[in-house]
Every structure is written in C-alpha cells, then in structure tokens.
C-alpha cells in the first residue's frame, strides 16, 4: 500500500513524460515530493508570475535537454503561457484525483496530515460516498468513533482519553456531527461532550475532579478533599477508572503530569496498588520519574517520525526533566537520565538535519514553526476582534511546564511549535513578529527592526497602523505601556518579555537554579497582572517563545578575531563557507548547519549535543543549538477561569 506522498509521486511520474505541468491547487505537493522527483532527474519550477517564469524558462530550460516539472497552484494549467501548456503534459494532483469516491466538500477542510491518515484506509473498492457519509467514514477510520455504535459512559471516556492523550484535535465540522449523533443517542445527558471534545484541558480537569471520589469509594476512606466536592464540569460524580479501557491511560496520564496526584489520609494503603501513582505521598515523584523514564524511552520517535510525533514527545521530555529537577537523583537515576538524554539528542539531531527544510513548507491547522504563529494569530483575531501576542524570550517548554502550575485562575490550551534554526533571538523572534522566513529578513544580527516588521505584517493583512502596537519594555514599565495601548484602542498588541532569557544567561546557573529563579520571576513580575488586564479587556492572549535553552558543557572557545558574524555559546555564524569549514575542522563536535530558510551567506556552525563554544568543561545554560529543549517551544492560548 502506497503512502499518500508515494501515490502523488507515482501520479506525477507515471505518464513517463519529460515535460510536465502539475496542477496542485489543493497544495498537496510538498517538499518531500519535490525532493523525490528531483532524485529522478527532473528540475522543478513553481509558476507564480508569468514574467519571472518566462525569464527562468528561456534562460535555463528552452534550449537545454532537461526534464522539467512546472508546478502551478494559484493559476489553472490552461492559463499558463500557451507554448508551455500546449507542449507539456498536464497532471492534476488534487483531493478529487486522490479520493474520487469521497465528497470533496468533506475533505477540503482537512490538512495534509489528516489526508495522509485517511489515505491509509482508502480503497477504490469503496462505494461513492455523500458528504455526510464521507464525514462518518472519517470519524470511524481516523478518529475511531463509530456513528452506528451506542457507547456506554466508560467507552466514551476511554475514547476521549485516547483522543486527548494523543493530542488529536477534531475539526469543528466533525465535532458538530459527533454532537448530532450524541443528541440522538442521549450522550449529552451523561456529560458535556462538546466541551470535552473542544477543550483538552477541560477534559483533564473533569477527570481530575473525579479521581478523589474514586479513591474515596475504592479505599473506603476520606481524602483531604471536601467530602461533598463541587464539580465545575458536568457529569457523574464517580467514574470507573479501573475499567480496563480507561485504566490503561490513567497510569500514564499521572506519570506525564496530565493528571495530578492527590493527598489522602493514609497513602500507605496504596503502596502496592496501581493507584499509587495518583496518590500524593513520600516517594511519589520518584515513582513518576521511573515511569516517565520508561515512557520516554518507549515513545521516542523513530527515524521515519512525523513532526507531530516530536511535538507530542516534547511534553513528555519536559515533564521527565521537570521531575528530575525536583528530586534528589541517585547515581542510578543519573545514569538512566544520561542514557536517555544521549539517545534523545542523537535521534532529534538526525531527524532535524533530515527534515527541518520540509518543516518550513508544511501546511497545518495549527502552527508548525514559530513563524506560522502570526498567521494563526490573524485567524484568531478575525474571530474575536482583539488579540495580544506575548513572546517570553527564551522560555523553554520545561520552564513553561513549571510555570503553568502556578497561574491561579488562568486556564489555557497548550500546543508546541518548532523554533527557527539557529535558535537565537535575532533569527527566531523576528520570524515570529514578521511571519517571514529568516531568509526574507534584512538583518539577522539584532532585533531592531522588530517593531516595523510587526506593523508591516498586519498592515499587509488589511489593518490600519493605529490598530497596531509593539511593546518591548522592562517589567516595571510594561503594564503602563500596555494600558496606554488599550486606551488608544489598539486591537493588535505584540509584547516582548525579556527577563526570563536574561536570567538564563546569568553566570554559574544550572537548570535547577534557572527553574527556581523563573519561579521568583513569576511571583515578582507583572506577568500575571498583564494577562489578567488583557483578558479583562477582551483580548485573546497568545503566549509563546522564540527558543528554549539547555545546560551545556564547554569544548573550547574558538579564537576567530572578527571572522564570526555572531559568536554565541551554542552557535557561531559565518558569512564565508571556507572560514566556517576551518573552524569546524578544529571543533569536530560541531555541525555545519544547512541554509534552509536562511540567507545563502548566513552559515551557522552549531555545537553538537550539549556542548558549547566556551571554556573547556565549564557549564552554561544557553541556546542556539539543536536539542529538543532549544527547538520545541510552547504555544499557549490563555483564558480566564
């Protein structure tokens, strides 16, 4: 059985023609497909502008004996220059040609990843399906919800657990269909199913509320919770957590921090029970550490992993390291953690070197890289009218996992995204505020252009200059500046918070210390007040980071003089490949990074693994490299209550 991309490559190549037009109005031909046809000896040109295309074609291909594929997305093939259209063979790559038995209306809202999963279940032997029937097929085959089946409460809970544990977010159109089916079968009387589907965090809160009740009933004793608990979420007071289909997820959810252990009168009673991981007692974090270490090892994405596999794994990795920073590690613990870290670093580095370029072309419902954040924020703004994007410079997923437990009555929806490479502020933060690839930015040495980039990005989207505000102030000036923007009626506010990154660069600070000072920052800064203010004034609040950080050990400091354009602890930037190669030969524990998404004369040399260009064996917390902690950052949508 072909994968979707393999099928598309086959469609393009099967005519056996040297000159092809590929119509791709559904944008299904991605970088991986282009690379595969390049390997077959074809050149590929994307048609965007007739004048530019004519120049490229006349100077590079008309008189050359080359195999050529012209990809057109916005322009139908028949509207290409007549000499090209009439002499080239046309191949249509579309939802219609790939899924001829399905309703286009039902499929055109799906992104490429969803279509790939659907294609795995598609067969030409199927009957032609209506829009409703296609949606039901999608529900059953991709989301494992059978419209014809009647579910018991425990089966619904188990289905929701699987959905949310795997971070699968259904389309609104499919949720509406589930709710229609639920209405006919009475599921809405059992629980607030729509809320549980839409809001992952609400579902986990629902489970969390019922866990103490389960313990109390199961162990015949009273927890430290009030005996008559007040439930925020609709549903029965008691859930069958010991049902096999539910129990299989409970243990893992507690290990990964999705559910929190609760205090009980006598935790010793649960010492040998499967429920012990959900009981807050002496040694509970050490139990979590052991389980998380095994989960991380077993779930480490493999060579052929998708980007979403790594985005999901990053949460487990952050949680494992958070637990490791909260307990006293024994020699055996350090050995286990060290072995897993080496494996994670190697696997992720290899994957990034192979796949990073493709990430820059992925189309998805949610941001894949941080430069997609602006487009996503724009869609949210159109639905709400006011939006604030807060970029906490240098906040890692590990730090966010710690902070997220201390936000009071703020709730949130959590996602992740890939930072730009190299993971430095002048590259990645500018990409966030501009929505552009670094190669399209004029200056990658500092962030001075950020206010204008932010403003231009929104003006290009049809907004007036008076609607837009960019604020980069010290903590003691931040609230006042934001209040001024609100009073001036500015609907689009971009905010930079610098203090977290500045603390990470302090001397002699390790990861445990960084987490401690991050806690202090949260208590002493205006951050929570800032979020409360924006939410109270009706703003949608998006929170993200430009890069994370990692604790690294020095391998020496290159004596380059003025050779390097940028001299960071985790990355050096050169404008000459010969000079970079010379330093690389002196420091073989480094990577000559590819220029995907970067200007051709912007050449990073990245320290491998957890190494740094600083004094040999000295320890620093820094960024710029390729570790999971530096690259995958939080992308959060905050809410009140």
d(CA 606, CA 261): 40
Report mean pLDDT in 10-residue bins for the chain, 641 residues: 89 92 92 90 89 85 84 90 91 95 92 90 90 94 91 91 91 90 83 89 92 78 46 85 93 93 82 86 86 95 90 96 92 94 96 92 87 94 90 96 90 94 96 96 94 96 95 94 96 95 77 91 94 95 96 87 64 92 94 93 95 91 95 94 65
User: Read out DSSP for 574-593?
Assistant: ES-HHHHHHHHHH--SEEE-
Per the listing, tokens 């949310």 go with: 164
For the range 433-439, what are the long-range contacts, defined as Cβ-Cβ under 8 Å and sequence gap of 24 or more?
433/374, 433/389, 433/391, 433/457, 433/470, 433/494, 434/371, 434/374, 435/371, 435/372, 435/373, 435/374, 435/375, 436/371, 437/360, 437/371, 437/597, 438/597, 438/598, 438/599, 438/602, 439/597, 439/598, 439/599
d(CA 638, CA 532): 10
Q: For residue 191, how many other CB atoms are within 10 A of its CB?
A: 21
d(CA 473, CA 572): 28
| The token pair that represents 236 in the structure block | 């029965």
Q: For residue 536, how many other CB atoms are within 10 A of its CB?
A: 10
d(CA 111, CA 430): 26
Q: What pLDDT was estimated at residue 54?
A: 87
This prediction has a pTM of 0.87
Q: Work out whether strand 262-263 and strand 468-472 pair parallel, antiparallel, or are unpaired.
A: unpaired
Q: What pLDDT was estimated at residue 390?
A: 98
CA-to-CA separations, 267 to 7, 504, 557, 617, in angstroms, rounded? 56, 38, 52, 44
| The token pair that represents 326 in the structure block | 């909260």
d(CA 116, CA 105): 17
Q: What share of the chain is helix, strand, coil (3-state, %, to 5)?
A: 50, 15, 35
| Torsion angles phi and psi, residue 12, rounded to 5 | -70, -40
- Give pLDDT tens digits for 119-158: 999 888 889 999 999 999 999 999 999 999 888 888 999 9
**Cis before residue 210, ω within 30 degrees of 0?**
no
| Geometric angle at alpha carbon 232, from 398 and 257, rounded to 5° | 20
Q: For residue 12, how many other CB atoms are within 10 A of its CB?
A: 23
Contact 518, 497 (CB under 8 A): no
Per the listing, tokens 């008559």 go with: 228
SS3 label, residue 161: helix
Q: What pLDDT was estimated at residue 224?
A: 43
Could you tell me how many residues make up the chain?
641
Q: What pLDDT was estimated at residue 42?
A: 92
Give 468's strand partners.
Answer: 492
Q: For residue 259, how many other CB atoms are within 10 A of its CB?
A: 21
Nearest to 352 by CA among 34, 635, 29, 630: 630
User: Read out DSSP for 162-201?
Assistant: HHHHTT----HHHHHHHHHHHHHHTGGGTS-HHHHHH-HH
């Amino acid at each position: 059985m072909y994968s979707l991309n393999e099928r598309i490559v086959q469609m393009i190549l099967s005519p056996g023609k040297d000159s092809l037009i590929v119509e791709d109005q559904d944008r299904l031909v991605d970088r991986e497909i282009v690379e595969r046809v390049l390997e077959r000896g074809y050149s590929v040109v994307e048609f965007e502008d007739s004048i530019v295309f004519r120049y490229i074609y006349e100077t590079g291909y008309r008189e050359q004996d080359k195999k050529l594929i012209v990809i057109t997305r916005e322009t139908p093939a028949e509207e290409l220059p007549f000499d090209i259209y009439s002499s080239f063979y046309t191949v249509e790559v579309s939802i219609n040609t790939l899924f001829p038995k399905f309703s286009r209306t039902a499929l055109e809202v799906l992104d490429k990843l969803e279509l790939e999963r659907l294609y795995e279940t598609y067969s030409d032997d199927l009957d032609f399906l209506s829009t409703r029937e296609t949606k039901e097929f999608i529900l059953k085959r991709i989301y494992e919800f059978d419209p014809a089946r009647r579910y018991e409460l425990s089966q619904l809970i188990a289905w929701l657990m699987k959905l949310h544990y795997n971070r699968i977010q259904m389309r609104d159109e499919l949720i509406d269909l589930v709710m229609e089916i639920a209405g006919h079968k009475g599921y809405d009387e059992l629980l607030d199913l729509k809320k549980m589907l839409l809001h992952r965090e609400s579902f986990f809160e629902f489970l969390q509320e019922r866990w103490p009740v389960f313990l109390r009933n199961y162990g015949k004793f009273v927890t430290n919770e009030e005996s008559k608990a007040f439930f925020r979420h609709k549903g029965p007071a008691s859930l069958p957590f010991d049902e096999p289909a539910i129990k299989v997820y409970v243990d893992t959810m507690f290990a990964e921090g999705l559910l929190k252990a609760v205090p009980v009168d006598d935790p010793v009673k649960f010492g040998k029970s499967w429920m012990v991981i959900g009981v807050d007692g002496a040694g509970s974090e050490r139990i979590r550490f052991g389980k998380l270490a095994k989960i991380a090892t077993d779930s480490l994405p493999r060579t052929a992993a998708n980007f979403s596999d790594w985005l999901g794994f990053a949460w487990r990795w952050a949680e494992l390291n958070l637990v490791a920073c909260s307990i006293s590690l024994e020699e055996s613990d350090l050995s286990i953690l060290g072995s897993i870290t080496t494996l994670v670093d190697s696997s992720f580095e290899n994957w990034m070197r192979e796949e990073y370029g493709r990430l820059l072309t992925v189309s998805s419902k949610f941001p894949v890289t941080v430069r997609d954040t602006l487009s996503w924020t724009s869609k949210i703004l159109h639905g709400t009218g006011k939006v604030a994007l807060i970029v906490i410079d240098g906040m890692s997923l590990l730090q966010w996992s710690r902070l997220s437990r201390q936000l009071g009555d703020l709730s949130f929806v959590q996602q992740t995204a890939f930072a730009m490479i190299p993971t430095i502020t002048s590259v990645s933060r500018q990409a966030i505020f501009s929505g552009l690839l670094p190669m399209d930015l004029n200056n990658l040495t500092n962030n001075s252009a950020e206010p204008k980039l932010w403003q231009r990005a929104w003006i290009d989207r049809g907004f007036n200059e008076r609607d837009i505000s960019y604020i980069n102030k010290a903590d003691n000036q931040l609230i006042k500046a934001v209040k001024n923007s609100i009073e001036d009626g500015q609907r689009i506010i971009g905010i930079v918070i610098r203090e977290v990154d500045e603390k990470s660069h302090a001397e002699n600070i390790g990861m445990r210390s960084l987490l401690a000072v991050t806690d202090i920052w949260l208590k002493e800064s205006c951050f929570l007040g800032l979020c409360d203010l924006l939410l109270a004034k009706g703003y949608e609040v998006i929170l993200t980071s430009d890069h994370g950080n990692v604790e690294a050990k020095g391998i020496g400091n290159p004596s380059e003089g003025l050779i390097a354009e940028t001299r960071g602890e985790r990355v050096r930037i050169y404008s000459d490949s010969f000079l970079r190669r010379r330093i690389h030969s002196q420091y073989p524990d480094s990577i000559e990074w590819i220029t995907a998404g970067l200007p051709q004369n912007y050449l990073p040399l990245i320290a491998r693994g957890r190494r740094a260009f600083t004094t040999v064996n000295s320890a620093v917390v820094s960024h710029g490299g390729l570790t999971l902690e530096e690259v995958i950052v939080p992308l959060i949508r905050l809410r009140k209550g």
